[in-house]
């Protein structure tokens, strides 16, 4: 992916009341669909996270958006990276990141990827089964490991504890097993679910982790790292309120109460860091009336950067530059598949072919899961410096 750089002239025309002049100039130069990444928003989210949770070191979840310019921006800011495959490790290395700034947090790793990671000194890894421990002992001997436990995901958009995490009561036996297999147990990890809206999930997970930590120390097992995962919410989907600023003080207070300064605390934010920085710009490429309703066909859809509708349970907000009387309309994507319907219930003014539709806060789990179905390529990436 080689993104274009936003022309300086386009940035100058962007006014505080909207994006009309800026978007129009951008579309005129590059066409559509466009996936615009705002570097200043990437940097702003990192600084916001650091200020709100100064004790927690963020490790960006590369899977949220592997765009090289995003990875490089975060690399230059000195944060870490949650990687899930060899390709992600290679991408992070290409931006000058050292192996100690990575955690291989895929709990089911391919043997070939394990061998590559160990060969490159990426040795901090997560696991959540005894089978994975045996694989690690064989292909990554001496690796430092974090046991991932199952924690409450109530109220989160994506419940990850269905697929990942061991029962908390199994954590200590598995850490002991890791030690006996020649691995180096160093702590635990968890994830409260993606787009978490209940701070109670974090609080309960911290309590579980604290109990396991105390038990580990009683059994003379090393416990140095607590990985609190991701899930930090952004203004997105059905959640209009930005809950992070109210949740962060509670998270910070509980971490300080339960874990002394000898415990290194890391997190794996993906959506929180990349989500607010992305905007998708599309145009109407077709129009019809079906079932007494206007249908508008856009040049991107669920097989492209709106793939989050399918894979990430996303409910995006679709905005237009046109004004006028609105009516309930359907918007659909450009492919030859009836699945490619974006929304049946959008309240929009009547539009014509060529009119712009855009989505904000779409920087995560969108371009990363876009396909080339019908040989229609994903949106062109524009990196706004």
List 67, 95, 196, 336, catalytic entry: 336
Judging by beta carbons within 10 Å of its beta carbon (0-12, 13-18, 19+), is residue 162 exposed, middle or buried?
exposed
Burial class (CB in 10 A: 0-12, 13-18, 19+), 233: buried
Q: Do the beta carbons of residue 62 and residue 81 sit within 8 Å?
A: yes
User: CB atoms < 10 A from the CB of 275, how many?
Assistant: 26
Rounded Cα distance, 332 and 7, in Å: 30
d(CA 353, CA 343): 18
Q: How far is CA 195 from CA 198, 248, 350, 382, in A?
A: 9, 14, 33, 26
Catalytic, 336? Answer: yes
CA–CA separation, 271 and 232 (whole Å): 8
Residues constituting the chain: 385
Both tokens assigned to 259: 């874990």
> What are phi and psi for residue 215, nearest 5 degrees?
-65, -40
Rounded distance between C-alpha atoms, residue 276 and residue 273, angstroms: 7
- The catalytic residue positions are 336
């Amino acid at each position: 992916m080689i993104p274009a750089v936003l022309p300086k002239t386009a940035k100058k025309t962007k006014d505080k009341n909207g994006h009309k002049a800026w978007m129009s100039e951008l579309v005129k130069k590059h066409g559509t669909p466009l996936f615009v990444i705002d570097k200043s928003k990437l940097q702003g989210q990192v600084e916001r996270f650091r200020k709100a949770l100064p004790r927690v070191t963020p490790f960006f979840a590369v899977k949220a958006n592997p765009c090289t310019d995003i990875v490089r921006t975060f690399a230059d800011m000195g944060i870490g990276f949650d990687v899930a495959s060899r390709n992600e490790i290679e991408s992070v290395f290409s931006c000058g990141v050292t192996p100690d700034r990575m955690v291989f947090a895929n709990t089911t790793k391919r043997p070939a990827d394990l061998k590559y990671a160990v060969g490159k000194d990426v040795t901090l890894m997560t696991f959540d089964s005894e089978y994975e421990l045996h694989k690690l002992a064989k292909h990554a001997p001496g690796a430092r490991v974090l046991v991932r436990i199952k924690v409450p995901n109530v109220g989160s958009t994506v419940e990850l504890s269905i697929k990942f995490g061991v029962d908390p009561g199994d954590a200590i036996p598995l850490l002991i097993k890791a030690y006996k297999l020649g691995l180096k147990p160093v702590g635990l990890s968890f994830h409260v679910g993606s787009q978490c809206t209940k701070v109670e999930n974090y609080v309960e997970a911290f309590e579980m982790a604290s109990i396991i930590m105390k038990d580990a120390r009683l059994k003379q097992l090393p416990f140095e790292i607590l990985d609190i995962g991701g899930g930090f919410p952004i203004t997105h989907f059905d959640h209009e309120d930005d809950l992070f600023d109210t949740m962060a003080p509670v998270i910070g207070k509980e971490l300080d109460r339960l874990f002394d300064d000898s415990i290194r605390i890391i997190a794996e934010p993906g959506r929180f860091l990349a989500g607010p920085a992305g905007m998708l710009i599309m145009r109407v490429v077709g129009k019809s009336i079906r079932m007494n309703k206007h249908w508008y066909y856009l040049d991107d859809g669920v097989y492209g950067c709106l793939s989050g509708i399918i894979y990430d349970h996303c409910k995006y907000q679709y905005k237009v530059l046109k004004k006028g009387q609105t009516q309930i309309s359907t918007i659909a994507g450009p492919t030859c598949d009836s699945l490619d319907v974006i929304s049946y219930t959008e309240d929009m003014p009547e539009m014509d072919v060529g009119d712009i539709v855009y989505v904000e806060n779409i920087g995560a789990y969108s371009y990363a899961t876009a396909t080339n179905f019908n040989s229609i390529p994903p949106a062109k990436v524009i990196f706004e410096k």
